[in-house]
């Protein structure tokens, strides 16, 4: 595949729509694909970590999602802006994460059946958060999976309630309730994780 295409300069890359970058990538412009990865990877990783936790599986799910984008990208018009491609990416990522989670549950079940007498003791590691972002990530781990996912999409992916509903398959009202309840608990957790600091997480606005 050739390595030059339709979006030429770095500044043009920054200003180009996702649709234009996709068309450039389909024409062989590798830099256009790199621009798409740079634009969306951070939000995808936050979403993956909300479902799989921090570590290799979340990174792998993001990588698989980007590979799907590379090999079989969606058809978008050149004027298509961020939400169109972002929604597609997060839906693909969510399926990858849920498949990974199901596979992990099957593996754990097989291990329990193979060693029924093995006692597994676990404890929650206490880690001091050195800044608000780290504290938020720690607090998210204490929420329910549904709350964790929608809040990660809202805070890190900057998705609207409607976009979150489309990605997760939940009703908009359910998304709003999960975010409201999750943020209330998250604010309480941050009060413990960051003693003496006032959290602004509870001030979420649609």
* Pair 6, 33: CB distance under 8 Å: no
What is the pLDDT of the chain when averaged over all its residues?
A: 77
Which pair of tokens denotes residue 202? 């509870």
Kindly list the domain boundaries of the chain, sorted by start residue.
8-114, 130-206
The DSSP code sequence of 90-124 is HHHHHHHHHHHHHHHHHHHHHHHHH-TT------P
CATH class of domain segment(s) 8-114? mainly alpha
What was the pLDDT predicted at 42?
92
* Count of beta carbons in the 10 Å neighbourhood of residue 63: 14
Question: What global pTM score does this model have?
Answer: 0.60
Residues of the chain with confidence (pLDDT) below 50: 1-5, 116-130, 198, 205-206
Which pair of tokens denotes residue 69? 């984008």
What was the pLDDT predicted at 8?
58
Query: If one looks up domain 130-206 in CATH, what number appears?
Result: 1.10.10.10
What was the pLDDT predicted at 120?
42
What was the pLDDT predicted at 7?
59
What was the pLDDT predicted at 129?
36
* Pair 44, 89: CB distance under 8 Å: yes
């Amino acid at each position: 595949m050739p390595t030059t295409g339709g979006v030429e300069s770095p500044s043009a890359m920054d200003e180009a729509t996702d649709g234009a970058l996709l068309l450039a990538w389909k024409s062989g412009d590798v830099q256009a694909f790199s621009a798409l990865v740079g634009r969306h990877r951070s939000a995808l990783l936050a979403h993956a970590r909300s479902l799989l936790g921090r570590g290799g599986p979340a990174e792998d799910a993001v990588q698989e999602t980007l590979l799907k984008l590379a090999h079989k990208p969606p058809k978008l018009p050149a004027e298509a802006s961020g939400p169109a491609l972002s929604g597609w990416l997060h839906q693909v990522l969510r399926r990858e994460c849920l498949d990974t989670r199901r596979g992990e549950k099957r593996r754990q079940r097989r291990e329990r059946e193979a060693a029924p007498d093995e006692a597994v003791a676990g404890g929650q590691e206490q880690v001091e958060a050195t800044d608000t972002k780290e504290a938020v990530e720690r607090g998210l781990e204490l929420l329910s999976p549904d709350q964790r996912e929608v809040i990660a999409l809202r805070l890190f992916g900057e998705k609207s309630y409607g976009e979150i509903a489309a990605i997760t398959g939940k009703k908009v009202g359910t998304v709003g309730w999960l975010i409201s309840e999750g943020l209330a608990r998250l604010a309480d957790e941050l009060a413990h994780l960051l003693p003496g600091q006032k959290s602004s997480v509870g001030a979420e606005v649609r």
